[in-house]
Amino acid sequence: MDLPPPLSLDADEPTAQHYVEQLSRACEAIVTRPLQAGSLEPVRAADLWIAQLARVELDAATRVDLARRFGPGIADEKAARQALALWRSVESWHEGFRARTPRYALRHLMSDLSEDAYCASWHPDTEFALWELIHGGRHAWMRLSGNDPRIAELRRLHEATGGWWRHNDDLDDGWGATEFVPTPDWRKIYALTVRNRDRAMFAVVDGKPLRGKPAMQGVVSLLNRKKQ
């Protein structure tokens, strides 16, 4: 089984994404059930694989119990230990890249907060709810409190980058993807949405869902409008 060398800590994000896809394919023979993590962004894929491969580091009794209850998870323990170290190198890359790339740090903090609030790495209302939290427009978003110290860090990263991340349904051949938008453009997009009484049906204000039809889908970015 050919495993790649560790991911360079100096790699850019596209290189890290390609590495994750390559490593995921190489790890398929190590586990007894496919994880299908190759399309996830690097740190999300690493979290998933580490959770599975770290079984080899548990004591023998625990591993036997897990195998009895859930079936064997590791087909090759030696390779699993090697792969585990490689996935941890992806985590190390993520921490370093986040520290030196404010836009990346902003996107991941938004994703982490969305996960904590709604168990979704990017909820349909993420960019709107978090924007309102950093500007005092709401006190909470589901399980996320406006007093969470990470909200101050989110505000700092927004100011440092001069923009905001949003989900654009028009990207990635219609599958949608996040895009970084300069603050002036984002303010206009936000205003177009919140003034619409049919704001996204997923929107939640202080734990109470707003009623109406989804308005986010079909909100065309101003950047795209300029091209028309």
pLDDT in tens, 123-137: 888 999 999 999 998
- Name which residue leads in pLDDT, 208 or 44: 44
- What's the pLDDT tens digit per position in 14-31? 999 999 999 999 999 998
Looking at per-residue pLDDT, the higher value among 99 and 203 belongs to 99
Ranges 34-48, 134-148, 151-165, most confident: 151-165
Contact criterion met (CB below 8 Å) for 96 and 106: no
Cα gap 48→45, rounded to integer Å = 5
Q: Which residues contact 117 (CB under 8 A, 6 or more apart)?
A: 123, 129, 141, 142, 143, 144
Q: pLDDT tier at 33 (50, 70, 90 boundaries)?
A: confident
Q: Is 176 helix (H, G, I), strand (E, B) or coil?
A: coil
Place 73 in a pLDDT band, splitting at 50, 70 and 90.
Answer: confident
39-43, 199-203, 215-219: lowest mean pLDDT where?
215-219
Per-residue pLDDT, averaged over 106-120, amounts to 94
Q: Which residues contact 88 (CB under 8 A, 6 or more apart)?
A: 46, 50
Residue 222 has pLDDT above 80, yes or no: no
